[in-house]
Amino acid sequence: MPRAAVLLSGCGNRDGSEIHESVCAVIALDRKGWDIVYTAPAIPQQKTVSYIDGRELPPRDALEESARIARGQIVPLDEIQLEEIDSVVIPGGLGVALTLCDFAVNGASCSTNPEVNSFLKNAHEMDIPIGAMCIAPTLVAGCLPGTTLTIGSDKATAEKIEKMGCRHMECPADKSVVDRQNRVVSTPAYMTATGPAQVLEGAISMVTALEELLNNRKD
């Protein structure tokens, strides 16, 4: 069965991986019969907040927090063997734009965590399809200029993606945009979704497209 590496950045939409999006991605993969390996870099989160009152909390480790979503079954990013991976899936959440890269702070001038940057670039060079949800396409844009992506219909974010050398396409929450040349699929998720049902439909669309890319490898 194909294996997907689900790249996480913590646990929760305000400072880590968005939980609904992570679960929807996993359900979509599981329904298609994919094996799943959860991964995250073992680095401090750039921001940790209280989900009750919004106050900032002491920093937590992205790997430790991501393990909550993975039910404890998680592999540090630097231990992932890309030769054993058929696709990479990146749920959204502010952790992507704060910890995996700093898009939330620096916009189009953002930089990416070196370990994450190498991981995604190496996956791309090996023709491994990449799926990105919600704000995660900004991370992909920082690593893979020239890619066609979607974050839904937010014009300000779309303009920043295009300043990063990528093309943005509008897309509803329950669909996905496929860049066949660069083997990247993106779906808006909670950038535009009104609830988890739309997020799940978008995740299913994304995984279906990833499967098609996997079955049609580049020569």
**What gap in Å lies between CA 138 and CA 164, rounded to an integer?**
9
State the alpha helices, DSSP H only, in the chain. 19-31, 62-69, 94-95, 103-106, 114-125, 136-143, 155-163, 196-215
User: What is the DSSP secondary-structure string of 77-129?
Assistant: GGG--GGG-SEEEE--SHHIIIIIB-HHHHGGG--B-HHHHHHHHHHHHTT--
Q: Output the six-digit token pair for 112.
A: 């990416």
* 11 classed as catalytic: no
Is there a contact between 15 and 52 (Cβ–Cβ < 8 Å)? no
Among candidate residues 101, 134, 166, 171, the one labeled active-site is 134
- d(CA 162, CA 40) in angstroms, rounded, equals 27
Q: Which two tokens stand for residue 214?
A: 């996997």
Q: Which residues are catalytic?
A: 134
